[in-house]
Amino acid sequence: MTQPPLSAQPTRPAAWLPDPLDDSLIRYWDGTRWTFRTADRPASAPVAAEPGAPEPVEPALRPDIAQAVDRVRGLLVGSMKEVNLLAGHLRPEEHVLALTGAQGEGQGVLACTNQRLLFLFVGIIRRQFLQVEWNQARAVIYNGGTKQFAVYTTRPTKRAVPAMAVRVNNVKDAQVVANAAVEASAAPRLDII
């Protein structure tokens, strides 16, 4: 018995479906393969898109998060899952001022809010959530050589260990986040070394 040609194989129409790797998410199936687009799984089952439908509309973001994303569109490669999950980690009175893609234990999102700086990464096996309240921050240093964005709660010395350290590949992105922090409160300026 021979296999029918690939074109004769039945295909599933494009749709948001349960993520095969994470039960808490839905992932977009484009009709031929899984994409990198994910979102929180809604309480009810996702609605499948019609066959031949145009690209899906991603789940709506909070206005403050959407505005911050628009400023860095294209620089969040690999971080949109975390951006979609960010609202669930924010306090009711907290607003996102700036964000960018960053590397911790995985590729995630570094966000500056009116209250704190936080990094969120959600992987298949590991999750990482780091935060520093702005009233605890004493110094923010970006090292251009190592591309490390570090936040210290003590005076930075050779022996001081940062309360948070992530990799931000672009100094302009680091500057945008640090400038938002300065505007938010009495957060320290960004020192670039």
Tens of pLDDT, residues 150-161: 888 888 888 999
Provide the terminal-to-terminal Cα distance of the chain, rounded to the nearest Å: 68
Instruction: Tell me the mean pLDDT in the region 42-52.
Output: 57
Whether the pLDDT of residue 144 is over 80: the answer is yes
Least confident of 44-58, 65-79, 121-135: 44-58
Which of 21-30, 42-51, 56-65 holds the top average pLDDT? 21-30
Q: Is the pLDDT of residue 47 over 90?
A: no
CATH for 63-192, options being 2.60.120, 2.60.40, 2.30.29, 2.30.110:
2.30.29
Domain ranges within the chain, ordered by starting residue: 1-58, 63-192
Instruction: Report the share of the chain in percent with pLDDT over 70.
Output: 78
Q: What torsion do the CA atoms of 89, 129, 76, 12 make, to the nearest 10 degrees?
A: -70
Residue 9 banded pLDDT, cuts 50, 70, 90 = very low
Cα–Cα distance for residue pair 102/105, rounded to 1 Å: 10
Q: What local confidence, expressed as pLDDT, does residue 165 receive?
A: 92
Q: Is the pLDDT of residue 46 over 70?
A: no
% of the chain beyond a pLDDT of 90: 6
**Interval 74-124: pLDDT, tens:** 566 667 788 888 888 888 888 888 888 888 888 888 888 888 889 988 887
Contacts (Cβ under 8 Å, ≥6 apart) of 9: none
Pairing status of strand 164-167 against strand 107-113? unpaired
